[in-house]
Structure 1
């Protein structure tokens, strides 16, 4: 592994603070002692959407266990892993942190299952699919601060949009020279065609995408062991031989591999052997954890509740029911420009996507709310 003081071939590729590109110029930034990307990280950290991370599902919904990972911990782990990689490679740690803190802000209640339920509703309403990475940009750019957004840099927003940690990449090369018009086209392309490949414009964005995978793969495994749906002995032997059988060893070996093999051609990459082991572990997690029927037992009911709430709030909006939570908790004092530039279905999408799991259930009829179970 490269020594922390050794020059890295990636240092010349690092995104300079002076390259930060915003939609609106800000005179105050000229005298701010923080870097431009540090400002982005602070704005995300102090956003309302970041506060709601605390009660957002990572993987396991409706399971009582105080030691399971929630979304807020996941983004902190990803930030730490990403900054560690960035430090050794000589990249911009502030930019990595900003992307990491914001990358999952668009996740709706109940994790990827909730994302799927909301996506089928959005499709039926003619506004395209629901993609949490596009929604993260939507919140930070067009919903926060009563619709004015945080005016984050393009580099931060691009890293958030292109972070998809569910894609298996052996290597990533930054796709440079994007501007905001390209960014907007990529958002619309993703919503219309979720399979479209998007690549970050900076090496920091590429690091964050790798760090996202490193952050969840072993942690989800440990959570599944904790609640008893798998055992450590179930892990694929070929992957264990390369990566180890604990989250600590998996994170260390994946990070070490990225540090060892990245940068010769300006790329962020895994070695082929480690990439293959990671793929085996991902396939195991998908089958044994993410699609495990034990943790899916309530999800048909949750799907019905997504449809119920969406229809209810669409009706409230059509009838201008100002006592509805849609008005009192979301549209109250919202900038007029937000309302004028968003269709009704997009407004309801933004409201529901921003809910915590608990708040979502509070909006549902008591007799229809699923009961959480205790495991582990």
Structure 2
């Protein structure tokens, strides 16, 4: 295949989509003599955000891991970045855009991974009549929750470009189709109602979407082998898969081998006419491995036990905070519990100070110039505040708060 085959359609000046790709919700300040592109600025803004830092203590597959070599969410997003960069660089796409999408694509993951997401989905549906899913929550976090100090020291929203925001909210959905093509139209990204509803707006977003799958399948198998949770019969099944698609032994079906083979196949198969695509053989392999992982890893009994524990943690934090609601006097009501739950009350009060209409914004020297998200006279807004606060937590912080709630 010819290297750089997509260079005439990548997200760069001259592309008909370019102006929309680099558009921001509002104008952003410029530093003198800044040499960065718009997407490089987005990458840095995400990298320096607190949500990115928290990914190092968020579940990828194995909850609240204390094993130094087991994958966490921060390692996963960097794997996605590395895979995306290799593919985009070979195909002639914009690597700065793929880097920014990749590093930001999972910022909205709840603590305890999809288990935390499932409980918050139930709360949002029953209490707010809306939907919660981590891709949409990632968009919410980069648009509304995460801030950085501007050139005057004022905290303001990240205000990322449309192409990066689009790649974040459109990154998920299973890749069972033979190929991915970017959609033609740009629209309000909050009109996306479910994962996989539509393809990304750019070729680069399509690359990240597939790189997400390449990055996690082999890495999750590596962790399962490291933690010795696969039985002898399951290891034999892995050997059978290796022999069916090549000559790899179970111990050789690791992240390095799988990522390399998938990347090479994708680069050799993809073209502007065919889309971002695997060969039929490798599409079958990715689906076989995905089925193996779901059956023997993601539904493992040890994970099932921790799921029940994780659900109890999140439910307990939610209910405790819900009991503290008292309309515009909520901050005063929460203060009554400061001696009982000092860490919880302080951290959640700080959250309300930053994002609600009542709090530090009224103080002299206020530094918060980000969007107001919650009007505390409205109970729905308060519930949304709890959901946002919990979804931003790390596994370890959620456990710390749960222990504080349950300790006398």
SS in 1 for 2:54: helix
SS in 2 for 1:297: helix
- State the alpha-carbon separation in 2 of the partners of residues 44 and 224 from structure 1: 30
1:315 offset after TM fit, Å? 2.4
SS in 2 for 1:61: coil
Within 5 Å, which residues of 2 pair with 1:120-269?
120-145=122-147, 148-164=156-172, 166-179=174-187, 181=188, 183-186=189-192, 189-190=193-194, 197-230=197-230, 232-235=235-238, 237-238=240-241, 241-242=244-245, 244=248, 245-265=253-273, 267-269=275-277
Runs of at least 5 residues in structure 2 that lack an aligned partner in the other structure: 149-154, 339-344, 358-371
Q: Which of residues 8, 11, 14 is equivalent to 1:12?
A: 8
Q: Which of residues 390, 393, 398 is equivalent to 1:352?
A: 390
1:256 to 1:26, Cα distance in 2 relative to 1, 3 A: same
1:252 to 1:45, Cα distance in 2 relative to 1, 3 A: same
Aligned to 1:333: 354
1:30 to 1:240, Cα distance in 2 relative to 1, 3 A: farther
1:325 offset after TM fit, Å? 3.5
- State the alpha-carbon separation in 1 of the partners of residues 263 and 67 from structure 2: 29
**TM-score under structure 2 length normalisation:** 0.81
SS in 1 for 2:355: coil
1:363 and 2:365 matched: no
1:151 to 1:264, Cα distance in 2 relative to 1, 3 A: closer
- State the alpha-carbon separation in 2 of the partners of residues 76 and 237 from structure 1: 30
**TM-score under structure 1 length normalisation:** 0.88
Aligned to 1:270: 278
The question of whether the paired residues in 2 share the 8 Å contact of 1:207 and 1:268 is answered with: yes
Within 5 Å, which residues of 2 pair with 1:296-315?
296-315=304-323
- State the alpha-carbon separation in 2 of the partners of residues 240 and 42 from structure 1: 43
- State the alpha-carbon separation in 1 of the partners of residues 3 and 305 from structure 2: 52
- State the alpha-carbon separation in 1 of the partners of residues 58 and 272 from structure 2: 39
Q: Deviations over 1:339-371 (max 9, x none)?
A: 2497122111100000011111111145859xx
The question of whether the paired residues in 2 share the 8 Å contact of 1:173 and 1:268 is answered with: yes
Runs of at least 5 residues in structure 1 that lack an aligned partner in the other structure: 370-376
1:26 offset after TM fit, Å? 2.8
The question of whether the paired residues in 2 share the 8 Å contact of 1:109 and 1:357 is answered with: yes
Q: Deviations over 1:213-249 (max 9, x none)?
A: 0000000000001101116433162455336422211
SS in 2 for 1:338: coil
The question of whether the paired residues in 1 share the 8 Å contact of 2:348 and 2:389 is answered with: no
Within 5 Å, which residues of 2 pair with 1:11-50?
11-16=7-12, 19=19, 20-26=22-28, 28=30, 32-50=34-52
Which of these two proteins has the greater Rg computed from alpha carbons? 2
1:184 to 1:261, Cα distance in 2 relative to 1, 3 A: same
SS in 2 for 1:28: coil
The question of whether the paired residues in 2 share the 8 Å contact of 1:165 and 1:210 is answered with: no
1:10 offset after TM fit, Å? 1.2
1:227 to 1:64, Cα distance in 2 relative to 1, 3 A: same
1:31 offset after TM fit, Å? 5.4
Higher RCO (CA < 8 A, seq sep 6+): 1
Aligned to 2:73: 71
The question of whether the paired residues in 1 share the 8 Å contact of 2:101 and 2:165 is answered with: yes
- State the alpha-carbon separation in 1 of the partners of residues 32 and 287 from structure 2: 45
1:263 offset after TM fit, Å? 1.2
- State the alpha-carbon separation in 1 of the partners of residues 179 and 32 from structure 2: 36
1:239 to 1:175, Cα distance in 2 relative to 1, 3 A: farther
